[in-house]
Structure 1
Amino acid sequence: MDIRVLEYFLAVAQEQNITKASQLLHVTQPTLSRQLAQLEDELGVKLFDRTNHNTVLTEEGVVFRRRAQDIVSMAEKAKSELLQDEAELTGTITVGSVELMSVRELGRLIASFQEKNPQVKFELYSSNNEDINEKLRQGTLDVGLCLEPFNTVGYEYIRMRTMEQWGVLLYDEMPLASQDVIRPGELVGTKVMTVHVGTPTHMRLAEWSGKYAKKMDFYANYNVLYNAVMVARERKGAVICLKQDTSFDHMKFLPLEPKLELGSVLVWRQGQAFSKVTDAFIRYILEVYQ
């Protein structure tokens, strides 16, 4: 299995058509079909279901696509790092981030670093703690901005100065929207969306709810707030979330009372051999915060 074959696989998965993918890749259709068949033989699974008009991923193919994307991205990143100009910092730093108010702090770090190193680019990836942690350990992300509680074993980190405030985004015509805060028990009987159950963050929310936690009716979980708000707004419902530096039409944010605030950390793998540009950015972070 080589990178070129993985790129072939990803192109067919994207186009869902052998002919279109072969034209995009500038290879013949028989060559592309043969490479895919050899890949399936090597893996011992069927990656595509083929019809007269479409080539779609099987369940195994969907799982493999995510790993293939990570491998190709890492290969491209390694190539870019090896071609860096020794006279000037160049390259791309990949940063994963949860949707947090402390992203403003991160933004200031990036802006000031790029002022001194204009050839450096950043690639931003938004997700939740669990996904960012996995990608940091895989090496597909260099640095991660994560919400506490976060297990920092195996990581170096700095703690951000901004505190993250928990509350509820409510459809503005709901009776609860007339209040100034949300107290434990007041959401019982209301269908709400919340962060993924079983995560450390969800456990902190359950602690805040106390005896009412088991009575809550969560109809959906989310990891990206914007999508959750769009669904909740259509349902004229509510989303338990962090306060954001933005607003949504017909949705009102009410903080939790007693106040529930959590910190955040900017983390990177301990002992990892980083590229020259990433190493310089980490040293810059430490200078600013220490």
Structure 2
Amino acid sequence: MEMRQIRYFATIAREGNISRAAKKLGISQPALSKQLGELEACLGQTLFERGARTVKLTDKGEVFRKRAEEILSLVDCTVREVSCGKSKLSGRITIGAAETFGFALVASALRDLNRKNPAVSFQIVSGNGEDLAERVQKGTLDLAVLIGPGRLDGCDTLSLGVYHSLGLVLPKDDPLAKKKGIQPKDLPGRPLLMPRRMRISAEIAGWAGYDYAKLNVVGTFNLLYNAAHAVAEGVGAAVSIDGLVPEMLARRLVFRPFAPEIYSEAYLAWKDNAELTPAAAELVRLLRGRVKECADINDFTKRESKGKENAK
């Protein structure tokens, strides 16, 4: 098996058509079909179901696609690490991002890094915490912005100093929307949409004081944007952190925190004991400085406010 065959396979899987994949790769269709046949012969498996105009991954093909993407990501990352110059930063940083306004801090650091080092580019991969955590642990992401009550095992982490309240996204005309906080007694029997992320069931059960199985979970989601439309159409209330209701639905939906409150922390994670690329390491350095600046400003504001209160 050759690396080019894996790249060819991944391109065919993305395009869903051998002719389009061949055009994108800059080779002839017969040559690409031959390479695919050799790959399948090497694996002893049929990776695609051939149709008249399209190809569809088989079950084994789906498994191979996932692993192929991980292999190619690791190879590209390794090439970037080796190719980085000693005096100037270059290469691409791959950053996973869960839904959190804490990413604004990362974005500002990326802006400054790119202005000083125009040869550095970045790829932002949005997703839910569970998928991103797996990818950063495997090394297919350089960094990931995650949310949780605890930190990710097997990773170095940096708190972004941003905390979210967990609660419900509800239609404005829902009776619970009139409450300041959602209590454990409010959940049983109510249709719920649950985020597909790590430890959410344990978080809810620990807060509610009853078994998670008592909840009527009608669906799950990985990002709130589309789930919010389901909430607006009356499918159910969505368990979410604050600050994520899409602006276009702000007139129809509200967020109400759980009471007592559950807080989740936004933090940056990267694989433990892994040597970051120079560009990724510089981004982490910039972020450490940003987080410290924000903490110092918050401390100063608190002292000023306390001083004014004492003066009264």
- TM-score by length of structure 2 reads 0.83
The answer (yes or no) to whether the contact 1:102–1:164 under 8 Å persists in 2 is no
Distance 2:193 2:206 in 1: 17
Q: Secondary structure at the match of 1:239?
A: strand
Question: Contact 2:133–2:152 at 8 Å: present in 1 too?
Answer: no
Q: Residues 80-159 of structure 1 correspond to what in structure 2 (within 5 A)? A: 80-159=80-159
Match of 1:209 in 2: 208
Question: How far apart, CA to CA, are the structure 2 residues paired with 1:32 and 1:247?
Answer: 43
Whole-Å separation in 2 of the counterparts to 1:85 and 1:105: 27
CA RMSD of aligned residues (A): 2.3
Describe the shift of the 1:53–1:122 C-alpha distance in structure 2 as closer, same or farther (beyond 3 A): closer
CA distance in 1, matches of 2:271, 2:19: 42
Q: Equivalent residue for 1:235?
A: 234
Q: Is the 1:146–1:264 Cα contact (8 Å) retained in structure 2?
A: yes
Q: Distance in 2 between matches of 1:150 and 1:51?
A: 47
Alignment of 1:8-87 (within 5 A): 8-87=8-87
Q: CA-to-partner distance for each residue in 1:136-165, whole Å, 9 max, x for gaps?
A: 122111112222234544322222211111
The superposition leaves residues 94-133 of structure 1 with CA deviations (integer Å, 9 ceiling, x where unpaired) of: 1112112322232233334334434322211122232222
Asked whether the equivalents of residues 188 and 212 of structure 1 are also in contact (C-alpha less than 8 Å), the reply is no
Q: Residues of 1 paired with 2:135 and 2:6: CA distance?
A: 19
- Residues 63 and 184 of structure 1, relative CA distance in 2, 3 Å threshold: same
Quickly say closer, same or farther: Cα 1:125–1:164, change in 2 above 3 A. same
Listed as ranges, the gaps of 5+ residues in structure 2 are 293-312
Q: How does 1:247-258 map to 2 (within 5 A)?
A: 247-248=246-247, 249=249, 250-258=252-260
Rounded Cα–Cα distance in structure 2 between residues aligned with 1:223 and 1:270? 25
Helix, strand or coil: the match of 2:36? helix
- Per the TM alignment, residue 246 of structure 1 is displaced from its structure 2 partner at its CA by 4.7
Aligned counterpart in structure 1 of residue 263 of structure 2, from 255, 261, 264? 261
State how far apart, in whole Å, the 2-side matches of 1:229 and 1:123 are: 26
Q: Distance in 1 between matches of 2:278 and 2:211?
A: 51
SS at 1:211 equivalent: coil
Provide the aligned length of Structure 1 versus Structure 2: 289
Cα 1:180–1:152 change in 2 (3 A) is closer
> Quick one: which amino acid aligns to residue 201 of structure 2?
H
For residue 241 of structure 1, report the CA deviation from its aligned partner: 0.4
Check the 8 A contact 1:156/1:269 in 2, yes or no.
yes
Q: Is the 8 A contact 1:101 1:164 kept in 2?
A: no
Aligned-residue offset at 1:271? 2.0
- Of residues 105-114 and 262-271 in structure 1, the stretch that sits farther from structure 2 once superposed is 105-114
Q: Structure 2 vs 1, CA of residues 20 and 285 (structure 1 numbering), >3 Å: closer, same or farther?
A: closer
1:266 alignment partner AA: L
Percentage of identical aligned residues: 29
When residues 108 and 183 of structure 1 are mapped into structure 2, their CA distance, relative to the original with a 3 A threshold, is same
Cα distance, 1:28–1:111 mapped onto 2, change above 3 Å: closer
User: Which residue does 1:190 correspond to in 2?
Assistant: 190
Q: CA deviation at 1:282?
A: 2.6
Shift of 1:264: 2.6
Report the Cα distance in structure 2 between the residues aligned to 1:50 and 1:125, rounded to whole angstroms: 31
Aligned residue for 1:159, secondary structure, equals strand
- Displacement of 1:48 after TM fit? 0.6
CA deviation after TM superposition for structure 1 residue 253, in Å? 0.9
Q: Which residue of 2 aligns with 1:226?
A: 225
Taking structure 1 as reference, are residues 235 and 80 closer, same or farther at Cα in structure 2, changes over 3 Å only?
Answer: same
Would the aligned equivalents of 2:130 and 2:196 in 1 still touch at CA under 8 Å?
Answer: no
One-letter code aligned to 1:143: L
CA distance change for structure 1 residues 218 and 245 in 2, over 3 Å: closer, same or farther?
closer
Distance 1:142 1:113 in 2: 15
Q: 1:150 to 1:6 in 2, by over 3 A?
A: farther
Partner of 2:279: 277
Q: Distance in 2 between matches of 1:160 and 1:23?
A: 44
